[in-house]
Amino acid sequence: MKVRANSPQGTPRARRPGPGGPHTLLRPRSSRPVVKVTVLVGSKSDLEVAEKVRARLDEFHVPCEVHVASAHRQPDKVDRLVHDPATDVFIAMAGLSAALPGVVAARTLKPVIGVPLNRGLGLDSLLSVVQMPPGIPVASVGLDAAENAALLATAILALKYPELEGELQKYRAKWRDEPAPAPGKSP
């Protein structure tokens, strides 16, 4: 079967938004939201960073769900969430030994963005996420880097939903006029 460029699983490339306004294709048709990005965090104590991801994705009108699901303490829950067919991109964040991004990546072929959280040494979670063994990749961003995780997820989604390119362009244009914040801080 011939697969068109930018058409995952051979589905036709998403059209530009119609009269319904921006991101028609990202809007749910039924009452149940269509999830595009699923964020998993290892603990309730990680929710603050996850909410920053949600806030950025909300600005881009990208549907997002956040779940607490520890790789060590709730492996069955992680498994259930990873097999949700509505998710296009996963963002997994955890501190300390931070197994969650790798565990999610081991169970799906979809892109997984890992966010190491600055909880113990900092280096512990960073290396746990970055140093994945060959064959099971995780796209790691920096410590607590919620903003970059959301932007990377949006860039991946833009391959399937081209209307998101406009959001990313607007975002970049804003950066040209504003000074960069300190590392790990959202603008």
Which residues in this chain contact ligand RP5 in the complex, by CB under 6 A? 42-43, 45-46, 70, 94-96, 117, 119
Round to whole Å and give the CA distance between 92 and 175.
Answer: 26
Residue nearest to ligand RP5 (CB): 42
| 7-24 as b/e: b if 16+ CB within 10 A | eeeeeeebeebeeeebbb
Question: Look-up: residue for tokens 């959301």?
Answer: 150
Question: Which of 47, 168 has the CB closer to ligand RP5?
Answer: 47
Shortest gap between Cβ of 143 and ligand RP5 (angstroms)? 11
Round to whole Å and give the CA distance between 38 and 150.
Answer: 11
Round to whole Å and give the CA distance between 118 and 145.
Answer: 10
Round to whole Å and give the CA distance between 130 and 151.
Answer: 18
Question: Which of 108, 118 has the CB closer to ligand RP5?
Answer: 118
Shortest gap between Cβ of 55 and ligand RP5 (angstroms)? 19
Question: Which of 117, 145 has the CB closer to ligand RP5?
Answer: 117
Shortest gap between Cβ of 78 and ligand RP5 (angstroms)? 12
Amino acid at 154: T
Question: Which of 49, 62 has the CB closer to ligand RP5?
Answer: 49
Shortest gap between Cβ of 6 and ligand RP5 (angstroms)? 34
